[in-house]
Amino acid sequence: MTAVPPLLEAGPGGVEEDLASAHALVSAFDSDQGGPGGGDPHREFAALRRTGAVHRSTLERIFTGADLSGTTGTPVWHVVSFAAADRVLRDEHTFSSSAYADSMGQVVGRSFLEIDGGEHRAWRNVLNRGFHRQAVASWQARLRADALSRLTAMADRGGGDLVGEVAFPVALTTIAGIIGFPLGTRIGTLYTWAVGLLDDTDGKIATAVAEWLGTPSTWPADSVVGRLLRCDDPAIGTGSALLPAVRLLLSTGTEPPYRALATLMYAVLHDPAVLEAVRVDVSISPALVQECWRWECPLTWVLRRCTTDTELCGVRLRAGDSVCVNLASANRDGSRWPDADRFNPHRRPLPHLAVGSGPHLCLGRHLAALEAEEILGGLLQVTAGRPSGPVLDTDGVSGRGFRSPLRLTLRF
């Protein structure tokens, strides 16, 4: 069992309090961003697709919906069609992930997110051992128990917020366990530090985690950190060199998954016909999850940088140009999905881009699918035998960079 540094150790009941505090910080950030980003951008994205697959834009216009007054903006190519987005994501030689050095890299440090080629493959070879389908299946019983326990407790109380009380803690506790953090760790504090919502001005958190990483024997051998620390590939490094990877895993293993879980619960509970359909035939659950990811991709875009002059859908790009790949727009491309704006769990399945494509295909896709199916199973169980069904109060899916419901208030 991993020893917890005193700074990161929670007392009795402290873990849940820490999780609640972390979600409060996330909610406050989302509210400050207008939820986050405000409005529904899909009409805007559809209008762009009608006039072309690739558009000259600015990061400010893409991220907020408008250029900032009095500034020229940061130039970028905005990729909005499925075909163009898929091509960019598959071609790491022309479109490099090094673009993240200027954004995520400024928060977590240099991680495998911004690395391409052989060095990136070295990282994935180790990380895949903790995230392949069979590895995450070993977490199914724990996931099921956690999801059902939280949903049952909420039902017994007469209701609550499915986002803050179920989706967020389930996603965070699961990825924290897979990384190797033991029960009793302030994982909420670690998460908000990892994504930059919690200031670590004196460096105490970073120092504690770095020192922790310097003691391989304290990490479970089958945990992600345990595997990384025992790897002899020089591309990986050891000890504190793994700090950016740990921060990135906490961030990407929590943020998109919990938002996807929230959207899934919204899709199922907002339309009684969907809940009834999956209740009648639970075998549609995997297709329902995939359709939910396609319909409302939790992460709207990813970034790339051109390494050479190239042409994309008739548009000339130059070496050094920044590229913003709009996953949410690509997943609503009507040339690939008929009636693409409609959530339809019965549609013919086609690969989408919610989990990316190519060399940087999401490592946690199998884990996210398992989390979703267990949450769905728990919902079916706690809502069974209630003829009128629970009452859902929500403002629906919102956001621009991240999309999900900010709240899902359920009353039994």
Residue 1: inside a domain, yes or no? no
Cβ neighbours of residue 398 under 8 Å, at least 6 residues apart?
35, 36, 37, 38, 39, 40, 404, 405, 406
pLDDT given for residue 60 in this prediction: 92
- Tokens coding 127: 């990380």
Give the domain range for residue 286: 6-411
How many Å apart are CA 322 and CA 299, to the nearest integer?
18
Residue 237: inside a domain, yes or no? yes
| Mean pLDDT per 10-residue segment, the chain (412 residues) | 82 91 94 62 96 96 84 93 98 97 92 95 95 96 97 94 98 97 95 95 94 92 95 89 96 97 96 91 96 97 98 98 98 97 93 97 97 96 79 93 95 90
Number of domains in the chain: 1
pLDDT given for residue 35 in this prediction: 42
How many Å apart are CA 328 and CA 82, to the nearest integer?
9
CATH of the domain at 141: 1.10.630.10
Residue 43: inside a domain, yes or no? yes
Nearest to 393 by CA among 161, 156, 153, 147: 161
pLDDT given for residue 1 in this prediction: 47
Residue 383: inside a domain, yes or no? yes
pLDDT given for residue 38 in this prediction: 56
How many Å apart are CA 74 and CA 67, to the nearest integer?
9
Residue 362: inside a domain, yes or no? yes
- The string of DSSP letters for 198-237 reads S--TT-HHHHHHHHHHT-GGGS-TTSHHHHHHT---TTT-
Residue 262: inside a domain, yes or no? yes
Task: Return the residue matching tokens 């996931």.
Answer: 143
pLDDT given for residue 121 in this prediction: 96
Task: Return the residue matching tokens 């022309």.
Answer: 94
pLDDT given for residue 239 in this prediction: 87
Residue 346: inside a domain, yes or no? yes
| pTM: predicted TM-score of the whole model, two decimal places | 0.95
pLDDT given for residue 33 in this prediction: 64
Residue 277: inside a domain, yes or no? yes
Q: Are 369 and 143 in contact (CB under 8 A)?
A: no
